[in-house]
C-alpha cells in the first residue's frame, strides 16, 4: 500500500475502499480556528455532550485578531471558556496560525486530523492524513463520531532531482496548479514519493501540503522519514515519530512526474491560484506591497531566508514590506538567530502571528496597486480592496520584489542564503492552555454577539420559489460569504452575518431574498471552491435558499450544504444551465419522496422548462437532507 492507503486502512470503520464509495474514518485529532470555531462549538454544545471524545482537540485564535470593538474579544473569551469546559486545548490570540502551530506542537505521523480550516492539510507534511471540513463535521468528530467522505483516488506525484537556489516549495505547488488547475485534485489525496522527497525538509512539505487545498484535493500526504524524525526531535517530540512510507510495490490511481531540478520561480497572477506564469515572464511590473508569511510560507526557514537576503539591503521606498510570522515559536527562533534585526533594518513591518491579510483582516493594498503575497489565495477582493491585483509567490520572489520595487526573478539577488533548521528549536508553549481534567463546573462566557444556533426545519415534499441568483464557474466561498474585518466579527451571529450573503456578486441579493421567501441558486463548475467556512451554506439557508443547481460542486462546500439541509443538485444536461434566467419561477418536485426511496434523479420545473437534476449522495447524506440537516439527523440518531 501507499502511505495514504495505510492511514485510511488503519482508521476506516465503515464502507469499502473503492474510489467514489462513501467510507467513514476514525478521527484522532481536531482543530478549529476562531472564524469557524465559534459556530463549531455552538454546534457541539447543541449535541448535549459533557466532553470531547477525541484523543486531542485544539481551539486556535488566529483569524479575527483585530479588536475594533467588543465582538472579537468577546468571542475569544467564549472560545477559551468553552475549551476549558469541554476538554479542548486553547491557543491564545497571537500564539500563531492553526496549521503552523499544530505542525510544531501536536502533529503526529500516521494520525488523522480534521480541521475547520481548509488549510488543515498542512499536517500532511508530517505524514498525517489531515483534512479540512466544515465546523459541523468537526463538531461531530469531537463528539466521537466518524468522518464520512467518498473514498478518494490516490494521486502519486513522483519527485526527482533537487531544487535549485532561489527556487522553493512554493514553486512546486504553483507548478502543480499551473498544470492541473484549481479542479485538478478534486476527489483525490495527493501523495508525494520518489527520491526527490528526501531533499525536502518538513517546512517545505508543509507548504506543498497546505496549498493542495487550492488544487481541490481532499488532502496531501508525505511519508514520515528521517527528515520527519529530525523535525520532531527539533520540536522536542522525537518519541512521537514513527516511520511511515509507501511499500516498494505500492500502486497509485495515477502518477505525475516532477523533476525538482527543472523548476524555476513561478508566480500566480490575479486573480486565481492557478493563473500561474514564470516570474521571468512578468518581470518589471511595479510592486507597492509585499507580505511574507501568514497562512503559508510563515515558517522559521521562510523568514530566515528573507532576513538573510535583507542583510545589508533596504526595501524599495515605494514598497510596504510586511512580515506575518506563522507562530510565536517562529518569531522567537528567528529573533535568537539575528533575523529580526535584519528585517527591521531592511524596512520590514513585523506584525503579530496570525492570518491577518490572508483573510482580509487588515493589510488591504492601496487602490490600483500590485501586492505580492506568499499566501495561498488571491480571489478577487479577498484582500479587502476592490479591483485588487494580488500575486502569489515564494518568499524568495517576494523579497526580490521588496528590494527592487518590481516583480523580479529572485536569482538576480546573487548568492542564495543557506538556512538549516536548528537541531533544537526554542520552544515556548505558555500561550497554549491545556484543559482541566474536569471542566464540568466551568461557566461558558457569552457576549451579546453570540446567538443560538438556528433551528432548521425538515425537507418539504415540494419546494417552490424563484431563482435568486445565477453565477458562472469557480464561484468561491469568498463570493458567497465575504471575509474581512467588516464581516468576520459576526461569525457567531447568523442573523447578522446573513446580511452579507453574495454581497460581492449581487449587492441586492439579501433584500430580494427577504422579499421572496424561498429561492435557489444556479451555478457553473466547481461551485463553492475555497475555504471551509460553513457560513457560506448556513447563512443562505437562514435566508431561505433550499437548493442549489450547478454543474459541479467543490467537496467541502457540498458537504456543508448537506449539513444544513440545502439540496445540492447537479444538472444532468449541462446545457440546461443556459435555459435558466434570474427571476424564473421554479418547482422542485417530490424531492423528499425520491430521496426517501433512494432515488437520485429529481425533476425541476423552471420557467417554461422541465429539467432533470441528479443528487450524488450516499444513503446517509440523503437521510441527513430529509431531516433538514446534520444536527437534526444526529439528534434523531442519538435519541434512537
Q: Of 81, 531, 532, 559, which is the active-site residue?
A: 531
Residue 63 annotated to the active site: yes
Residue 171 annotated to the active site: no
Task: Count CA atoms closer than 13 A to 206's CA, side-chain side.
Answer: 28
Q: Of 28, 34, 75, 117, which is the active-site residue?
A: 117
Q: Of 411, 533, 541, 555, which is the active-site residue?
A: 533
Residue 62 annotated to the active site: yes
Residue 446 annotated to the active site: no
Q: Given the C-alpha cell 506563522, which residue does it identify?
A: 326
> Distance between CA atoms of 95 and 91, rounded to whole angstroms?
6
Residue 533 annotated to the active site: yes
Q: Are 126 and 231 in contact (CB under 8 A)?
A: yes
Cβ within 8 Å of residue 476, ≥6 positions away: 379, 528, 529, 530, 531
Cβ within 8 Å of residue 625, ≥6 positions away: 459, 562, 565, 567, 595, 617
> Distance between CA atoms of 311 and 399, rounded to whole angstroms?
12
Cβ within 8 Å of residue 455, ≥6 positions away: none
Task: Output 45-50 pairs: Cβ under 8 A, ≥24 positions apart.
Answer: 45/82, 45/444, 45/453, 46/453, 46/631, 46/635, 47/139, 47/140, 47/143, 47/631, 47/634, 47/635, 47/638, 48/638, 49/86, 49/143, 50/86, 50/440
Residue 280 annotated to the active site: no
Cross-strand bridge partners of residue 257: 158
- The DSSP-derived string for 413-424 is G-SPPP----SS
Q: Of 57, 59, 63, 85, which is the active-site residue?
A: 63
Q: Of 377, 541, 546, 557, which is the active-site residue?
A: 377
Q: Of 28, 34, 62, 75, which is the active-site residue?
A: 62
**H-run or E-run covering 513:** helix 509-516
Q: With CA atoms as reference, report the closest residue to 449 among 491, 405, 486.
A: 491
Q: Are 359 and 482 in contact (CB under 8 A)?
A: no
Q: What is the distance of C-alpha 421 from the center of its chain?
A: 26
> Distance between CA atoms of 64 and 334, rounded to whole angstroms?
25
Residue 50: count other Cβ atoms within 10 Å of its Cβ: 11
> Distance between CA atoms of 410 and 418, rounded to whole angstroms?
15
Catalytic residues: 62-63, 117, 377, 531, 533
Amino acid at each position: 500500500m501507499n502511505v495514504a492507503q495505510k492511514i485510511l486502512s488503519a482508521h476506516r470503520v465503515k464502507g469499502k475502499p473503492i474510489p467514489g464509495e462513501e467510507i467513514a474514518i476514525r478521527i484522532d485529532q481536531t482543530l478549529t480556528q476562531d472564524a469557524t470555531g465559534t459556530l463549531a462549538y455552538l454546534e457541539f454544545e447543541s449535541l448535549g455532550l459533557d466532553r470531547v471524545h477525541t484523543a486531542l482537540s485544539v481551539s486556535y485564535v488566529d483569524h479575527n485578531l483585530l479588536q475594533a470593538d467588543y465582538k472579537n474579544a468577546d468571542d475569544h473569551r467564549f472560545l477559551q471558556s468553552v475549551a476549558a469546559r469541554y476538554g479542548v486545548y486553547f491557543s491564545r490570540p497571537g500564539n500563531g496560525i492553526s496549521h503552523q502551530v499544530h505542525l510544531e506542537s501536536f502533529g503526529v505521523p500516521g494520525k488523522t486530523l480534521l480541521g475547520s480550516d481548509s488549510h488543515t492539510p498542512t499536517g500532511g507534511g508530517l505524514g498525517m492524513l489531515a483534512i479540512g471540513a466544515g465546523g459541523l463535521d468537526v463538531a461531530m468528530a469531537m463528539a466521537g463520531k466518524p468522518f464520512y467522505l467518498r473514498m478518494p483516488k490516490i494521486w502519486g506525484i513522483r519527485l526527482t532531482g533537487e531544487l535549485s537556489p532561489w527556487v522553493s516549495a512554493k514553486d512546486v505547488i504553483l507548478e502543480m496548479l499551473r498544470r492541473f488547475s484549481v479542479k485538478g485534485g478534486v476527489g483525490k489525496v495527493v501523495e508525494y514519493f520518489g527520491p526527490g522527497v528526501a531533499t525536502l525538509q518538513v517546512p517545505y512539505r508543509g507548504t506543498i501540503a497546505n496549498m493542495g487545498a487550492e488544487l481541490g484535493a481532499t488532502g496531501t500526504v508525505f511519508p514520515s522519514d528521517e527528515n520527519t524524525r529530525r523535525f520532531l526531535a527539533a520540536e522536542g517530540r522525537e518519541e512521537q515519530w514513527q516511520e511511515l512510507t509507501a511499500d516498494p510495490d505500492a500502486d497509485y490511481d495515477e502518477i505525475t512526474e516532477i523533476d525538482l531540478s527543472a523548476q524555476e520561480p513561478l508566480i500566480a497572477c490575479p486573480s486565481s491560484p492557478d493563473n500561474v506564469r514564470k516570474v521571468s515572464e512578468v518581470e518589471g511590473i511595479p510592486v507597492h506591497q509585499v507580505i511574507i508569511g501568514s497562512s503559508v510560507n510563515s515558517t522559521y526557514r521562510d523568514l530566515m531566508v528573507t532576513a538573510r537576503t535583507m542583510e545589508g539591503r533596504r526595501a524599495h521606498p515605494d514598497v510596504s514590506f510586511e512580515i506575518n510570522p506563522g507562530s510565536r515559536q517562529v518569531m522567537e527562533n528567528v529573533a535568537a538567530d539575528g533575523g529580526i534585526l535584519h528585517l527591521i533594518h531592511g524596512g520590514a513591518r513585523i506584525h503579530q502571528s496570525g492570518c491577518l491579510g490572508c483573510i482580509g483582516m487588515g493589510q488591504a493594498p492601496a487602490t490600483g496597486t500590485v501586492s505580492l503575497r506568499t499566501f495561498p489565495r488571491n480571489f478577487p477582493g479577498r484582500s479587502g480592496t476592490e479591483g485588487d491585483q494580488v500575486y502569489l509567490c515564494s518568499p524568495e520572489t517576494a523579497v526580490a520584489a521588496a528590494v527592487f520595487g518590481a516583480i523580479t526573478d529572485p536569482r538576480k539577488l546573487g548568492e542564495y542564503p543557506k538556512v538549516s533548521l536548528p537541531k533544537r528549536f526554542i520552544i515556548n508553549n505558555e500561550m497554549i492552555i491545556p484543559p482541566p481534567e474536569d471542566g464540568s463546573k466551568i461557566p461558558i462566557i457569552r457576549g451579546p454577539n453570540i446567538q443560538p444556533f438556528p433551528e432548521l426545519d425538515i425537507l418539504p415534499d415540494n419546494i417552490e420559489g424563484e431563482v435568486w441568483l445565477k453565477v458562472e464557474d469557480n464561484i468561491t466561498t469568498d463570493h458567497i460569504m465575504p471575509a474581512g474585518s467588516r464581516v468576520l466579527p459576526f461569525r457567531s451571529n447568523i442573523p447578522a452575518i446573513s446580511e452579507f450573503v453574495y454581497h460581492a456578486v449581487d449587492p441586492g441579493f439579501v433584500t430580494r431574498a427577504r422579499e421572496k421567501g424561498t429561492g435557489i441558486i444556479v451555478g457553473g463548475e466547481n461551485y463553492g471552491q475555497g475555504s471551509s467556512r460553513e457560513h457560506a451554506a448556513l447563512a443562505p439557508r437562514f435566508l431561505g435558499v433550499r437548493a442549489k443547481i450547478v454543474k459541479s460542486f467543490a467537496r467541502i462546500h457540498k458537504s456543508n450544504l448537506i449539513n444544513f439541509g440545502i439540496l445540492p443538485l447537479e444538472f444532468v444536461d449541462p446545457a440546461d444551465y443556459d435555459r435558466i434566467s434570474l427571476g424564473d419561477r421554479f418547482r422542485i418536485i417530490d424531492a423528499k419522496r425520491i430521496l426517501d426511496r433512494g432515488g437520485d434523479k429529481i425533476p425541476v420545473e423552471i420557467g417554461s422548462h422541465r429539467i432533470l437534476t441528479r443528487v450524488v449522495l450516499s444513503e446517509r447524506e440523503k437521510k441527513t437532507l430529509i431531516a433538514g440537516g446534520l444536527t437534526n439527523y444526529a439528534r434523531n440518531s442519538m435519541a434512537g
